[in-house]
């Protein structure tokens, strides 16, 4: 019959049990042994074990029989919470916690240097199928993985870790468990005990939802979850970084919401700010196995639906009222979490639940065009393919099943009807070309779905064509009407035009009606469609005002004409048929010019998008980098690790590292660097930059959406979509503007009707179209309608709505062109309010890498020539991982002009002291490059032939020399102390037991730092230096750059407290930093500014990102903010004054002084106002960054190093007030022992480095950097 049939296997079948970990309450009526016994009596329980600390129970169970949630309720009177235990060696007697479907694997991992390494391993393994939980310990060099052996093997896990660049080795092999049919039967027949008591206890629980401000990474989430979950009265805690919330399930009889709030705050008193949002009765959070890899739990809560973010291109928006309409309607729909609509970009970013609503359809119902531009995933690769050759559903199944078995493919969906495949994959495990090759191997042809990489949605071409067409149509029919009107005004009366074709219908009215009807139908079609849809959804926009004005004029004229014809009137009625054509002409012209100007505001972003390459040349290299083949592929198919060839004049398709070739590269459109940059092997290149002269081979490091250019484009788009606080006010005002203007128009109509009948002479005097043959009542009605329609025509919410976004768009675009990425309107607006600029030291004020400043020779040159000593020192430090050692090696190689030196053996490091080693094989190197004919052995007056001699080398501080029996002479000690006083690290070197050299090393100050600090001060800003280094180093740096206020020896948490202290004084603070330890302070500051060469965490936390490592861009970012906000204010003042003055004039308030407007004049003024606001914003495109040369010329003679007496140095967290966080025991020990640590100047690290273990933050004593003297002092 077509079904597969097989004989049942009578042998025992492997059963796949699952495992959970349960935390016992601190005060339980039952002992752990009694709890285990109670659990074992239940159906489906395989095994139960207790940890050595008697706090955690591991339970193996059959998922088909029972569940984790049910197990937590099996023991009456005892609260059992599912958790992820802290895994430590020896915590369990049996390392095989979970057997069968879940096993625990312990691996020793070498090569990890920082927490970024642990995150890399956890992130890589967490995306694999079959991985349940991962915990990587940097201290123990260990990875503990809970996985399902049926889906992934231990060897595959090991290979994945090694593929990430680490060395992995098994500690203990997991052992799978098999159960026979008899065991299964015994488990099924076990009688479960009642759990009613437990259910009664759980029924009294509550869930409190708190808002938590101050979280900046997943570490904060885990800290809160682990701390709060440990409380006895807390059942579970779910923390969301994205929502800034914490949902806590607790027992109200044991703890209050206020106590919970304080408990969350106490996790980090100076970082988290907690407030209660809501409280639910009898809402139990689903117990979850909390993963350390995510900021939110893996399971979905009922109150946290699965959402996705989509970017939609929206057509047809004309003013901020349209934006308010879309945002208002969508935000009220079920499943929509957030809505951000950009009028100028013509798109919207919406976060919503796709199971509850369809966003594009909702927008179309509002009367706007809507097409999905992109779905923002979570970082996984998404591939859209066209698959040819499929004939039936079997082909679909074949492709889907094969792809789902492929390592790295997360999801696959193939549609036979459309011949399209949607594939989600892990870019770290598989690439797009690999996926395509799998499909091709199945016998199908496939190609990539072409994406629109153009910036067509930014140039407003469609809107420009639409309004141009509307203007031309209206103009064609308006010209005859205007001609008739001018003819009548010139001759005052015309017997021909006044001739009646029939009683009540004159030639003038008949011709005006004929020309007015096409304008109403064709010229006003778009207005009527938009207005009807807006009114249908109870909203109003600019189109409603236009439709009201033209419709009232047309209908009034038509009705009064029909009445006159019906009454067979002898006097021709006065009509408004000339008003609609002229209104549509001026409004269409204004909209046309407005969209042309809007397109100019997006030029910066469009230029960035145009930089993206469409194709790439992939090459295959053989031995010795011999070119074997090359292939032209779509840029979306480039994978990490591919070798890409870039010819002269070509764009770099991806970010990469040069492996062969030399060239000059133009990066001006990305970094703002005007001069071409030299690229050679080892240098990095940026996607979108242009190769100028040499052919380069690069290894792709970042592809697709991960490239620098893609990230910049995304950042600029998000910035231009976000709204500044002043823009939010304008949009809210626009929402009430149209109803208000309609009300004013009605009041104007009624007021002039009353005034006219009370005192007709006023109307008679100022009504230009007054004709004595017309009755007074008709004149009054006509004049009242004229003023009312003019009010509708002149009022303009567009100028209010465009005042801010146009300036923000141009400002952020100009910033991006100059290498300054501003994340939205809020930081752009806030930056001009900054009063204090706080600088981090290492990597911000300084380069962050040590350099050799001076070398002093302590022996005669004939005993140890200079080049020979440098060769020995460079070889000795080549095996050192310390930054000081790397600086010495780099200096020696540079001075000797060589990349290879001698051989180093027996290398030993003594932390805090120095190194010792043996150096050989330098004679051949010296013989090849030396110009001397005679080579003398070290410390020997007798010349000998060149042989491979071994030298004993010691490099370190005073204590290290003393330990090895070497005496440091007084003059040498004084020289060291002088270097130390100037903020340098002094290192001694000894060869073969003789003290031979003194090396001074420093982290140099950036050359532009002093000018940047001086310029900021001249702008009226207070400049502060904040660092974790000691006060001597901090004072030295501050003296060089001209900073007078310094906070030294400050921990990362204290940086946050110090920023908070400055804010409490009423100051707006900008924090400039680059490291991980700066990210909390960057997030706390009013404006966080990150150096682009810094860490990803710092860049993520900052509000402004400087692409170039240039402190003058800090000055430029604040200056640009000031110029942009000034332009916004000019726009706003103009828009407000226009409406505040224009509406009263249109209403006839200034009639006594003879100021009267016709409706067409109002429409012309309205159109001019919108265009003028956009043109005003476009003036920002003329912005030029402050020139360093001009600033240096102005500051000539004013910049000088500060004396020690001018610098105020505050150590630690002093003067920070009572709310400052307390030092931990480790922090106090570090602070207390600073005096002794300072004596080890050669190997000293900052407090930040000690606490955080950051390899990129070294405490280096910094001093003057202008000396390159290597002679004796």
Listed in sequence order, the residues at least 6 apart from 102 whose beta carbon sits closer than 8 Å to its beta carbon are: 17, 18, 19, 132, 146, 147, 148
Distance, CA of 1198 to CA of 843 (rounded, Å): 26
Distance, CA of 264 to CA of 239 (rounded, Å): 11
Listed in sequence order, the residues at least 6 apart from 1166 whose beta carbon sits closer than 8 Å to its beta carbon are: 586, 587, 590, 793, 794, 795, 796, 798, 1142
**DSSP letter (8 states) at residue 24:** P
The residue from 578, 636, 840, 1074 that is catalytic is: 840
Task: Name which of 873, 602, 830, 620 is nearest 726 in CA terms.
Answer: 830
Kindly list the distances between the CA atom of residue 820 and the CA atoms of 868, 1089, 1153, 1215, in Å, as whole numbers in the listed order: 47, 10, 52, 34
Cα 698 to the chain's mean position, in Å?
A: 27
Q: Tally the residues of the chain.
A: 1273
Distance, CA of 36 to CA of 48 (rounded, Å): 6
Helices (H), 776-865: 776-794, 797-817, 825-830
End-to-end alpha-carbon separation of the chain, Å?
A: 99
Token readout for 807 is 């300036």
CB 1245 within 8 A of CB 1258: yes
Give φ, ψ of 754 to 5 degrees: -65, -45
Distance, CA of 1213 to CA of 270 (rounded, Å): 12
Q: Is 1138 exposed, middle or buried (0-12, 13-18, 19+ CB in 10 A)?
A: buried
| Helix 1009-1018 / helix 1112-1147 crossing angle, nearest 10 deg | 30
User: DSSP per residue over 1013-1029, as a string?
Assistant: HHHHHHTT-EEEEE-SS
Distance, CA of 1051 to CA of 1058 (rounded, Å): 10
User: DSSP per residue over 257-268, as a string?
Assistant: HHHHHHHHHHHS
DSSP, collapsed to helix, strand or coil, labels residue 281 as strand
840 a catalytic residue: yes
**Buried (b) or exposed (e) across 373-385, using 16+ Cβ within 10 A?**
bbeeeeeebbbeb
Element of type H or E holding 677: strand 677-679
Task: Name which of 654, 658, 653, 638 is nearest 702 in CA terms.
Answer: 654
- CA dihedral of 742, 746, 752, 755, whole degrees rounded to 10: -130
Give φ, ψ of 139 to 5 degrees: -70, -45
Give strand pairing partners of 348. 312, 341
CB 557 within 8 A of CB 575: yes
DSSP strand pairing (836-840 vs 1022-1026): parallel
DSSP, collapsed to helix, strand or coil, labels residue 1080 as helix
Task: Name which of 925, 844, 940 is nearest 878 in CA terms.
Answer: 925
Token readout for 1222 is 């307390």
CB 371 within 8 A of CB 313: yes
Distance, CA of 416 to CA of 390 (rounded, Å): 7
The Cα angle at residue 170 between residues 165 and 172, in degrees rounded to 5? 155
Task: Please report the sign of the dihedral spanned by the C-alpha atoms of residue 1088, residue 1093, residue 1097, residue 1100.
Answer: positive
The catalytic residue positions are 840
């Amino acid at each position: 019959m077509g079904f597969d049939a097989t004989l049942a296997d009578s042998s025992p079948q492997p059963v796949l049990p699952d495992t959970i970990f349960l935390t016992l309450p601190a005060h339980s009526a039952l002992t752990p042994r009694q709890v285990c016994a109670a659990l074992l009596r239940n159906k489906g329980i395989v095994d139960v074990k207790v940890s050595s600390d008697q706090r955690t129970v591991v339970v193996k169970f059959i998922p088909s029989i029972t569940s984790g949630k049910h197990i937590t309720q099996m023991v009456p009177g005892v609260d059992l919470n599912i958790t992820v235990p802290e895994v430590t060696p020896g915590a369990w007697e049996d390392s095989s916690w979970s057997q069968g479907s879940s096993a625990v694997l312990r691996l020793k991992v070498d090569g990890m240097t920082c927490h970024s390494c642990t995150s890399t391993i956890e992130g890589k393994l967490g995306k694999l199928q079959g991985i349940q939980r991962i915990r990587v310990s940097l201290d123990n060099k260990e990875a503990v993985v809970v996985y399902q052996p049926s889906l992934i093997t231990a060897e595959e896990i090991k290979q994945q870790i090694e593929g990430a660049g680490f060395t992995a080795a098994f500690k203990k092999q997991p052992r799978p468990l098999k159960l026979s049919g008899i065991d299964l039967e015994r488990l099924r027949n076990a009688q479960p005990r009642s759990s009613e008591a437990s259910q009664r206890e759980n029924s009294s629980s509550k869930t409190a939802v708190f808002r938590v401000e101050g979280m900046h990474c997943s570490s904060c989430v885990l800290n809160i979850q682990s701390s709060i979950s440990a409380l006895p009265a807390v059942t579970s805690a779910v923390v969301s970084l994205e929502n800034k919330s914490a949902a806590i399930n607790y027992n109200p009889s044991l703890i209050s919401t206020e106590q919970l709030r304080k408990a969350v705050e106490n996790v980090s008193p100076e970082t988290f700010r907690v407030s209660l949002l809501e409280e639910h009765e009898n809402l139990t959070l689903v117990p979850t196995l909390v993963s350390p890899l995510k900021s939110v739990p893996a399971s979905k809560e009922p109150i946290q639906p699965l959402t996705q973010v989509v970017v939609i291109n929206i057509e047809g928006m004309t003013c901020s009222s349209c934006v308010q309409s879309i945002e208002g309607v969508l935000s009220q729909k079920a499943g929509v979490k957030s809505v951000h609509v950009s009028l100028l970009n013509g798109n919207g970013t919406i976060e919503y639940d796709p199971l509850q609503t369809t966003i594009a359809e909702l927008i179309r119902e509002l009367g706007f065009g809507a097409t999905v531009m992109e779905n923002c995933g979570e970082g996984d690769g998404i591939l859209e393919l066209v698959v040819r050759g499929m004939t039936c559903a079997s082909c679909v199944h074949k492709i889907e099943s094969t792809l789902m078995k492929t390592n790295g493919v997360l999801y696959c969906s193939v549609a036979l009807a459309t011949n399209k495949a949607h594939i989600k994959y892990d870019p770290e495990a598989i690439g797009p070309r690999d996926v395509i090759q799998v499909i091709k191997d199945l016998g199908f042809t496939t190609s990539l779905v072409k994406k629109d990489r153009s910036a067509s949605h930014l140039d407003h071409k469609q809107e420009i064509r639409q309004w141009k067409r509307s203007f031309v149509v209206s103009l064609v029919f308006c010209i005859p009407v205007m001609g008739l009107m001018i003819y009548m005004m010139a001759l005052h009366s015309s017997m021909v035009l006044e001739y009646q074709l029939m009683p009540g219908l004159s030639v003038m009215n008949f011709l005006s009606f004929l020309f007015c009807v096409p304008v109403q139908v064709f010229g006003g079609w778009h207005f009527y469609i938009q207005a009807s849809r807006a009114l249908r959804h109870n909203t109003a926009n600019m189109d409603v005002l236009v439709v009201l004005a033209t419709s009232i004029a047309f209908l009034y004229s038509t009705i009064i004409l029909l009445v006159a014809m019906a009454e067979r009137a002898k006097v021709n009625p006065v009509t408004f048929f000339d008003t609609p054509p002229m209104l549509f002409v001026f409004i269409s012209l204004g909209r046309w010019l407005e969209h042309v100007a809007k397109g100019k505001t997006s030029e910066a972003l469009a230029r960035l998008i145009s930089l993206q390459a469409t194709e790439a040349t992939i090459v295959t290299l053989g031995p010795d980098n011999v070119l074997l083949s090359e292939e032209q592929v779509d840029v979306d198919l480039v994978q990490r690790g591919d070798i890409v060839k870039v010819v002269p004049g070509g764009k770099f398709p991806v970010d990469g590292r040069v492996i062969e070739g030399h060239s000059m590269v133009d990066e001006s459109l990305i970094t703002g660097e005007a001069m071409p940059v030299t690229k050679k092997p080892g240098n990095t290149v940026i996607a979108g930059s242009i190769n100028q002269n040499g052919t380069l081979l690069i290894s792709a490091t970042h592809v697709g959406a991960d490239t620098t250019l893609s990230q910049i484009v995304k950042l600029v788009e998000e910035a231009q979509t976000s709204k500044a606080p002043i823009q939010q006010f304008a949009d809210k005002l626009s929402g009430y503007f149209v109803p208000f203007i309609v009300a004013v128009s009605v009041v104007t109509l009624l007021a002039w009707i009353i005034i006219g009948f009370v005192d007709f002479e006023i109307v008679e005097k100022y009504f230009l179209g007054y004709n004595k043959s017309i009755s007074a009542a008709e004149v009054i009605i006509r004049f009242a309608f004229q003023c009312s329609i003019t009010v509708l025509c002149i009022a303009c919410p567009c100028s209010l709505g465009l005042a801010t976004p146009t300036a923000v768009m141009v400002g952020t675009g100009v910033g991006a062109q100059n290498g300054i990425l501003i994340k939205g309107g809020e930081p752009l607006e806030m930056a001009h309010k900054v009063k204090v600029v706080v600088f981090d030291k290492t990597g911000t004020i300084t380069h962050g890498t040590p350099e050799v400043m001076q070398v002093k020779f302590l022996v005669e040159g004939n005993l140890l020539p200079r080049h020979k000593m440098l060769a020995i020192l460079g070889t000795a430090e080549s095996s050192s991982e310390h930054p000081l050692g790397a600086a010495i090696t780099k200096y020696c190689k540079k001075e000797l002009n060589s990349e290879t030196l001698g051989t180093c053996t027996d290398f030993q490091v003594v932390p805090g002291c120095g190194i010792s080693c043996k150096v050989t094989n330098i004679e051949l190197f010296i013989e090849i490059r030396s110009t001397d004919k005679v080579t003398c052995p070290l410390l020997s007056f007798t010349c000998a032939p060149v042989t491979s001699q071994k030298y004993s080398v010691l490099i370190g501080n005073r204590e290290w020399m003393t330990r090895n029996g070497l005496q440091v002479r007084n003059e040498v000690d004084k020289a060291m102390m002088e270097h130390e006083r100037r903020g340098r690290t002094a290192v001694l070197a000894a060869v073969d037991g003789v003290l031979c050299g003194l090396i001074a090393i420093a982290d140099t100050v950036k050359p532009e730092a002093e000018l940047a600090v001086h310029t900021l001060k001249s702008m009226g800003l207070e400049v502060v230096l904040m660092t974790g280094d000691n006060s001597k180093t901090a004072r030295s740096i501050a003296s060089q750059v001209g900073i007078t206020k310094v906070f030294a020896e400050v921990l990362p948490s204290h940086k946050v407290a110090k920023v908070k202290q400055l804010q409490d004084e009423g100051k707006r603070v900008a924090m400039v930093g680059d490291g991980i330890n700066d990210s909390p302070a960057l997030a706390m500051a009013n404006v966080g500014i990150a150096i682009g060469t810094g860490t990803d965490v710092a860049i993520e936390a900052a509000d402004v990102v400087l692409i170039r490592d240039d402190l003058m861009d800090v000055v430029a970012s604040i200056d640009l903010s000031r110029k942009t906000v000034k332009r916004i204010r000019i726009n706003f003042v103009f828009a407000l004054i226009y409406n505040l003055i224009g509406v009263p004039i249109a209403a006839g308030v200034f009639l006594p002084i003879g100021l009267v407007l016709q409706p067409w004049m109002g429409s012309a003024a309205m159109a001019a106002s919108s265009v003028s606001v956009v043109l005003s914003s476009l003036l920002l495109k003329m912005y030029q960054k402050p020139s360093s040369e001009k600033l240096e010329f102005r500051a000539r003679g004013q910049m000088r190093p500060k004396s020690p007496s001018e610098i105020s140095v505050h150590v630690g967290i002093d003067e920070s007030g009572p709310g400052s966080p307390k030092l931990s025991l480790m922090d106090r020990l570090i602070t207390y022992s600073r005096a002794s640590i300072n004596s080890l100047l050669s190997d000293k690290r900052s407090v930040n480095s000690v606490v955080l273990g950051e390899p990129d933050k070294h405490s280096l004593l910094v001093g003057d950097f202008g000396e390159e003297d290597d002679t004796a002092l």
